[in-house]
Chains A and B, each alone.
Chain A
């Protein structure tokens, strides 16, 4: 294959692919600046729907709840997922290891409806017998999100941990660091990128979740996807377009910053090795 030059066919298919992926998003962004109340009829440029969005207390409240749950769930999932990974990768063989490993990763393949329903049944049963949780709400959504996010984090972190040369940890111990110090001074900094991507993955999954949250939520705890979904059922408002555009914008900025940091590290590495 020639490098640098694409044949006409390749260009054509590439454009088709990109069009398929990004055209809906572009249309959504364009229509978020629509003046009209009708989502599909263009009536001139305006920031009207952004204004309406920021005056809608329900939407803002839902966004705030979703963010809080996502941050807390991602953080808890990173702690639990990392602990599970260390048990799976570093503790050697123990009785029930296979069962433990497959049960940790089971939520990955479990249909959301089943996860949601089973958690709902659990919370109801616990509420009746133990009196806790008395009411479903943010706390139960958080618990539900932590359970399935932990599985994702465990997969990401354990694959990184498997790559990590065990003799690096032994070297730290050999140089006088007791096991807990080895973990914080050596293991953790080395696997930090995996923790970061695990956290981001869990954050997005939690922010995105509609099905499980709908099952385990109670009055007073409506997450953003739930709010969007219920308002869409009333009829699509251009306000949703505005909200989606903001979310796309934030996500793009986050990706750009991550890319910029990675690139800067790369350039520095090249500069040092050239000097």
Chain B
């Protein structure tokens, strides 16, 4: 949650970026707090990279302002901004050794030689790369290159660290290991960090707050769990994880419980909490697959259940995803954990009842 006492370290105010006719970023507002790890998450072409490049100073906003630590830097070139970036390709200087790479930024500040050496040693120690100091980048593995790139972007003690698809160039196994390691390093330094990624798992693992971008606009900002549990739109709900969305009409609203009628269900749909929609309005009611329970017999609840037939099963080891076809033809996904090895599991063509509690569902307004 935002700390009211301190002003944000990085602020984006009504920023719009147009390339010719095309608007890559549309009137975006953001406030990123000191020491926070913030992720810009979205598909390709959603404007997240353009926004990051405006923070770094490689692009200038068409409208609006970028503020770092309260100072307007919109027209300050990248080489004068207290911001450093780790590039997707790492962009290490191939003709320089590891330590020369890390020292590059410090040399630009004309620091005394001893100070540079000490800082380079400290940074390489931070990423456990001191023994590789004399190597050239082409003599390093992908993970080692990333460590050097991180050390180089942290060496100047930037006010804001920008990460562009930080794990994009690594293979899957190394990725999950490096995600946690990079977060540890960033947190130990205490730098404010903005990262761009298209990988929701990466964003949720690494970031304190995530913003979902779509078509140049920010759809939702929140902690990973807020975004997952309380998506505010169909787009966010579908982008993060998988979800079942029922088209429903508002039937009755009270501050504790909202009731909907849905053509797919024989009973009433109920969702905990009130809504500000009027009766009869068409909305979406969403339920995550892992919050849907399955049974062979009819559940003991009046609302939120439906009968269907098992259409498809995806066995994933730890859990299985069941695709259940309702009488209306709609297919609903439900997940079960495979706790017992010899359990009599539901199988294809089985008749099954799906049910969930009113606190599991969310209302989507748009």
Contacts and interface: CB of A to CB of B under 8 A. Distances in A.
A198 to B, nearest CB: 18
Interface stretch (A2-10, A51-59, A171-179, A236-244): A171-179
A167 interface: yes
A168 B135 contact: no
Contacts of A172: 93, 104
A171 B149 CA distance: 10
A175 B108 contact: yes
Contacts of B80: 176
Given A170-B78, A174-B56, A269 B85 contact: no
Contacts of A273: 135, 139
A167 B87 CA distance: 7
Given A181-B108, A272-B139, A173 B89 contact: no
B313 to A, nearest CB: 45
A256 interface: no
A165 B83 CA distance: 21
A176 B156 contact: yes
Contacts of B139: 269, 272-273
A176 B56 CA distance: 11
Most buried by B among A167, A175, A272, A273: A175
A168 B91 contact: yes
Contact of A186 (B84, B93, B156): B93
A190 interface: yes
Interface string A178-192: 100100011001100
B108 A176 contact: yes
A181 B109 CA distance: 13
B93 A176 contact: no
Contacts of B108: 175-177, 181
Contacts of A186: 93, 95
Given A175-B104, A189-B95, A269-B139, A167 B88 contact: yes
Contact of A178 (B79, B84, B93): B79
B136 interface: yes
B135 A272 contact: yes
A46 to B, nearest CB: 50
B84 A175 contact: yes
Contact of A167 (B91, B95, B105, B135): B91
Contacts, number: 72
A184 to B, nearest CB: 12
A196 B83 CA distance: 36
A167 B89 contact: yes
Interface string B347-361: 000000000000000
B156 to A, nearest CB: 7
A171 B92 CA distance: 8
Contacts of B87: 167, 170-171
The size bracket of the interface on A is 20 to 34
B59 to A, nearest CB: 11
A173 B78 contact: yes
Interface string B126-152: 000000001110110000000000001
B79 A176 contact: yes
A69 B99 CA distance: 42
B45 interface: no
Interface in A37-59: none
Contacts of A170: 58, 78, 85, 87, 91
B94 interface: yes
A269 B140 CA distance: 11
B91 A165 contact: yes
Contacts of B84: 174-175
Interface in B46-87: 56-58, 77-80, 83-85, 87
A171 B79 contact: no
A273 to B, nearest CB: 5
Contacts of A171: 85, 87, 91-93, 152
Interface string B253-290: 00000000000000000000000000000000000000
A269 B134 CA distance: 11
A175 B152 contact: yes
A174 B77 CA distance: 9
A53 B104 CA distance: 54
Nearest to A269: B139
Interface in A181-221: 181, 185-186, 189-190
A171 B134 CA distance: 20
Nearest to A169: B91
A175 B88 contact: no
A230 B138 CA distance: 53
A58 B80 CA distance: 60
Interface string B151-172: 0110010000000000000000
B140 to A, nearest CB: 9
Q: Max chain A CB contacts within 10 Å: which of B83, B93, B152?
A: B93
A190 B94 CA distance: 7
A181 B80 CA distance: 13
Given A178-B79, A186-B93, 11 more contacts: A167-B88, A167-B91, A173-B78, A175-B79, A175-B108, A175-B153, A177-B79, A178-B77, A190-B93, A269-B138, A272-B135
11 contacts: A167-B87, A167-B89, A168-B93, A174-B56, A174-B58, A174-B83, A175-B104, A175-B156, A176-B105, A176-B108, A272-B135
Top 5 A-B residue pairs of the complex, sorted by shortest distance between their CB atoms? A175-B105, A176-B108, A171-B91, A167-B91, A167-B87
